[in-house]
A = this chain, B = another copy of it.
Amino acid sequence: MVITKQSILEFEKFYRTNFVNSVSGFKSANLIGTKSRDGKTNLAVFSSVIHVGANPPLIGMLVRPASVPRHTHINIKERGYFTINHINKEIFKQAHQTSARYIENISEFDECGLTPEYTEPVRAPYVKESKIKIGCTFVEEHLIKSNDTIFIVGEIMEVIIPDDVLMNDGYIDIEKAGTIAISGLDSYHETKRIARLSYAKPDVVQNKI
Protein backbone atom coordinates (compact mmCIF):
# COMPACT_ATOMS: atom_id res chain seq x y z
CA MET A 1 0.00 0.00 0.00
CA VAL A 2 1.03 3.62 -0.53
CA ILE A 3 0.66 6.03 2.39
CA THR A 4 0.92 9.68 1.35
CA LYS A 5 2.28 12.57 3.38
CA GLN A 6 -1.28 13.92 3.61
CA SER A 7 -2.48 10.65 5.19
CA ILE A 8 0.41 10.71 7.66
CA LEU A 9 -0.47 14.27 8.69
CA GLU A 10 -4.10 13.18 9.24
CA PHE A 11 -3.18 10.13 11.38
CA GLU A 12 -4.12 10.23 15.08
CA LYS A 13 -1.07 11.55 16.97
CA PHE A 14 0.13 8.36 18.68
CA TYR A 15 -0.57 6.29 15.53
CA ARG A 16 1.55 8.75 13.51
CA THR A 17 4.35 8.66 16.08
CA ASN A 18 4.49 4.86 15.92
CA PHE A 19 4.35 4.90 12.14
CA VAL A 20 7.08 7.43 11.42
CA ASN A 21 9.33 6.17 14.22
CA SER A 22 9.37 2.68 12.70
CA VAL A 23 9.82 3.57 9.03
CA SER A 24 13.50 4.57 9.07
CA GLY A 25 14.78 1.05 9.82
CA PHE A 26 16.50 -0.53 12.83
CA LYS A 27 18.01 1.86 15.36
CA SER A 28 20.84 1.78 17.85
CA ALA A 29 19.82 1.09 21.45
CA ASN A 30 21.78 3.23 23.89
CA LEU A 31 21.49 4.80 27.31
CA ILE A 32 22.92 8.31 27.55
CA GLY A 33 24.39 9.13 30.95
CA THR A 34 24.92 12.72 32.12
CA LYS A 35 25.35 14.74 35.29
CA SER A 36 23.79 18.10 36.10
CA ARG A 37 25.69 21.17 37.29
CA ASP A 38 24.72 20.33 40.87
CA GLY A 39 25.83 16.71 40.57
CA LYS A 40 22.56 14.85 39.90
CA THR A 41 22.84 11.88 37.54
CA ASN A 42 20.51 11.46 34.56
CA LEU A 43 19.96 8.49 32.27
CA ALA A 44 17.83 8.34 29.10
CA VAL A 45 17.23 5.80 26.36
CA PHE A 46 18.16 7.07 22.86
CA SER A 47 17.66 5.36 19.51
CA SER A 48 19.21 8.09 17.37
CA VAL A 49 22.93 7.58 18.02
CA ILE A 50 24.90 7.30 14.76
CA HIS A 51 28.49 7.12 13.54
CA VAL A 52 29.75 10.51 12.31
CA GLY A 53 33.42 9.89 11.61
CA ALA A 54 36.45 7.80 12.53
CA ASN A 55 39.24 10.42 12.47
CA PRO A 56 38.67 12.24 14.74
CA PRO A 57 36.32 9.65 16.34
CA LEU A 58 32.89 11.32 16.32
CA ILE A 59 29.38 10.21 17.25
CA GLY A 60 26.10 12.06 16.73
CA MET A 61 22.58 11.89 18.14
CA LEU A 62 19.32 13.76 17.87
CA VAL A 63 17.78 15.29 21.01
CA ARG A 64 14.25 16.61 21.42
CA PRO A 65 14.31 19.59 23.77
CA ALA A 66 10.53 19.46 24.14
CA SER A 67 10.38 15.83 25.28
CA VAL A 68 11.61 13.66 28.14
CA PRO A 69 15.39 13.61 27.62
CA ARG A 70 15.66 17.41 27.90
CA HIS A 71 17.82 17.01 31.03
CA THR A 72 20.29 15.15 28.83
CA HIS A 73 20.69 18.16 26.54
CA ILE A 74 21.00 20.68 29.37
CA ASN A 75 23.56 18.52 31.18
CA ILE A 76 25.64 17.96 28.04
CA LYS A 77 25.76 21.70 27.36
CA GLU A 78 26.54 22.61 30.99
CA ARG A 79 29.10 19.93 31.77
CA GLY A 80 30.47 19.09 28.33
CA TYR A 81 30.42 15.31 28.86
CA PHE A 82 28.11 12.36 28.20
CA THR A 83 28.37 8.59 28.11
CA ILE A 84 26.85 6.20 25.55
CA ASN A 85 26.04 2.76 26.96
CA HIS A 86 24.85 -0.11 24.74
CA ILE A 87 21.59 -1.72 25.81
CA ASN A 88 21.70 -5.51 26.06
CA LYS A 89 18.99 -8.12 26.57
CA GLU A 90 19.52 -8.23 30.35
CA ILE A 91 18.72 -4.53 30.86
CA PHE A 92 16.27 -3.59 28.09
CA LYS A 93 13.30 -3.24 30.46
CA GLN A 94 15.21 -0.99 32.83
CA ALA A 95 16.50 0.96 29.83
CA HIS A 96 12.99 1.48 28.44
CA GLN A 97 11.77 2.62 31.86
CA THR A 98 14.21 5.57 31.76
CA SER A 99 11.85 7.17 29.20
CA ALA A 100 9.19 7.73 31.91
CA ARG A 101 8.69 11.39 32.83
CA TYR A 102 10.52 11.50 36.14
CA ILE A 103 10.84 14.85 37.86
CA GLU A 104 14.21 16.57 37.82
CA ASN A 105 15.27 15.59 41.34
CA ILE A 106 14.89 11.89 40.66
CA SER A 107 17.71 9.91 39.05
CA GLU A 108 16.70 7.29 36.50
CA PHE A 109 19.61 5.19 37.78
CA ASP A 110 17.84 4.76 41.14
CA GLU A 111 14.32 4.45 39.74
CA CYS A 112 15.20 1.95 37.02
CA GLY A 113 17.66 -0.24 38.92
CA LEU A 114 20.85 0.58 37.03
CA THR A 115 24.23 1.38 38.57
CA PRO A 116 26.33 4.48 37.83
CA GLU A 117 30.09 4.03 37.57
CA TYR A 118 32.88 6.44 36.69
CA THR A 119 36.30 6.68 35.13
CA GLU A 120 38.78 9.44 35.82
CA PRO A 121 38.67 11.34 32.50
CA VAL A 122 34.89 11.42 31.90
CA ARG A 123 32.62 13.67 33.99
CA ALA A 124 29.44 11.69 33.38
CA PRO A 125 28.13 8.37 34.74
CA TYR A 126 28.48 5.12 32.82
CA VAL A 127 25.97 2.27 33.23
CA LYS A 128 27.75 -0.58 35.00
CA GLU A 129 25.39 -3.21 33.56
CA SER A 130 26.20 -2.18 29.96
CA LYS A 131 29.01 -4.06 28.24
CA ILE A 132 30.06 -1.51 25.61
CA LYS A 133 30.47 2.06 26.84
CA ILE A 134 31.74 5.25 25.25
CA GLY A 135 32.79 8.42 27.03
CA CYS A 136 32.33 11.59 24.96
CA THR A 137 32.89 15.32 25.08
CA PHE A 138 30.47 17.72 23.42
CA VAL A 139 31.88 19.33 20.27
CA GLU A 140 29.04 20.90 18.27
CA GLU A 141 25.28 21.04 17.81
CA HIS A 142 22.91 21.95 15.00
CA LEU A 143 19.31 23.11 15.28
CA ILE A 144 17.04 21.26 12.85
CA LYS A 145 14.79 24.16 11.88
CA SER A 146 11.99 21.97 10.50
CA ASN A 147 11.00 20.71 13.96
CA ASP A 148 13.27 22.36 16.56
CA THR A 149 15.22 19.21 17.37
CA ILE A 150 18.98 19.33 17.84
CA PHE A 151 21.69 17.16 16.28
CA ILE A 152 24.54 16.87 18.78
CA VAL A 153 28.06 15.74 17.89
CA GLY A 154 30.44 14.33 20.49
CA GLU A 155 34.06 13.27 20.31
CA ILE A 156 35.00 9.88 21.74
CA MET A 157 37.36 10.17 24.75
CA GLU A 158 37.44 6.47 25.61
CA VAL A 159 35.76 3.17 24.76
CA ILE A 160 35.22 0.39 27.30
CA ILE A 161 34.58 -3.11 25.89
CA PRO A 162 35.01 -6.75 26.92
CA ASP A 163 38.38 -8.10 25.68
CA ASP A 164 36.83 -10.88 23.60
CA VAL A 165 34.68 -8.74 21.29
CA LEU A 166 37.50 -6.82 19.57
CA MET A 167 38.35 -8.60 16.32
CA ASN A 168 41.71 -8.63 14.50
CA ASP A 169 40.69 -5.93 12.04
CA GLY A 170 39.35 -3.47 14.62
CA TYR A 171 35.69 -4.50 14.21
CA ILE A 172 33.85 -4.70 17.53
CA ASP A 173 31.50 -7.69 17.59
CA ILE A 174 28.59 -5.91 19.27
CA GLU A 175 26.33 -8.91 18.66
CA LYS A 176 28.68 -11.08 20.71
CA ALA A 177 28.53 -8.44 23.45
CA GLY A 178 24.74 -8.85 23.53
CA THR A 179 23.91 -5.40 22.13
CA ILE A 180 20.34 -5.20 20.84
CA ALA A 181 18.49 -2.99 18.33
CA ILE A 182 15.30 -0.91 18.51
CA SER A 183 12.52 -0.41 16.00
CA GLY A 184 9.80 2.16 16.45
CA LEU A 185 9.35 3.57 19.94
CA ASP A 186 9.18 0.38 21.93
CA SER A 187 10.28 -2.75 20.06
CA TYR A 188 13.53 -4.43 21.11
CA HIS A 189 15.34 -6.95 18.90
CA GLU A 190 18.19 -9.44 19.24
CA THR A 191 20.31 -9.95 16.16
CA LYS A 192 21.85 -12.86 14.26
CA ARG A 193 24.72 -12.18 11.86
CA ILE A 194 24.05 -13.12 8.24
CA ALA A 195 27.57 -12.31 7.05
CA ARG A 196 30.39 -9.82 6.98
CA LEU A 197 31.18 -8.87 3.39
CA SER A 198 34.52 -7.85 1.92
CA TYR A 199 35.24 -4.28 0.79
CA ALA A 200 33.22 -3.70 -2.38
CA LYS A 201 35.12 -3.11 -5.63
CA PRO A 202 33.76 -2.75 -9.17
CA ASP A 203 33.78 -6.05 -11.11
CA VAL A 204 34.59 -8.14 -8.04
CA VAL A 205 32.09 -10.69 -6.74
CA GLN A 206 31.18 -10.28 -3.06
CA ASN A 207 32.94 -12.58 -0.65
CA LYS A 208 32.32 -13.16 3.01
CA ILE A 209 35.12 -12.08 5.34
Residue among A8, A119, A204 with max Cβ neighbours from chain B (10 Å): A8
Copies in the complex: 2
Give the distance to chain B from A192, nearest Cβ to Cβ, in Å.
5
A97 to B60, CA, bound (A): 26
In the bound complex, CA of A14 to CA of B54 (Å):
10
Q: How far is the CB of A163 from chain B (nearest CB, A)?
A: 5
When distances are taken between beta carbons in the complex, the residues of chain B under 8 Å from A184 are 171-172, 196
Range for the number of chain A residues in contact with chain B = 35 or more
1/0 contact trace for A1-34 toward B, CB 8 Å?
A: 1111100110111111111111111111110000
Q: A36 on the interface (CB 8 Å rule)?
A: no
Chain B residues near A198: list those with CB within 8 A. 186
Residues on B with beta carbons closer than 8 Å to the beta carbon of A167: 18
* A58 to B174 CA separation, bound complex (whole angstroms): 28
**Given the interface contacts A25-B29, A27-B50, A200-B97, does A92 sit within 8 Å of B62 by beta carbon?**
no
Q: Is A78 an interface residue (CB 8 A)?
A: no
11 examples of A-B residue contacts, CB within 8 angstroms: A1-B160, A2-B158, A16-B54, A50-B62, A98-B200, A140-B144, A142-B142, A184-B196, A186-B197, A188-B194, A190-B192
Bound Cα distance A14, B191 (Å): 25
A54, A149, A157 interface centre (most CB from chain B within 10 Å): A54
Q: A160-B2, A161-B1, A175-B183 are in contact. Are A170 and B62 (CB under 8 A)?
A: no
Residues of B within 8 A of A24 (CB): 28, 30, 49-51, 59, 84, 134
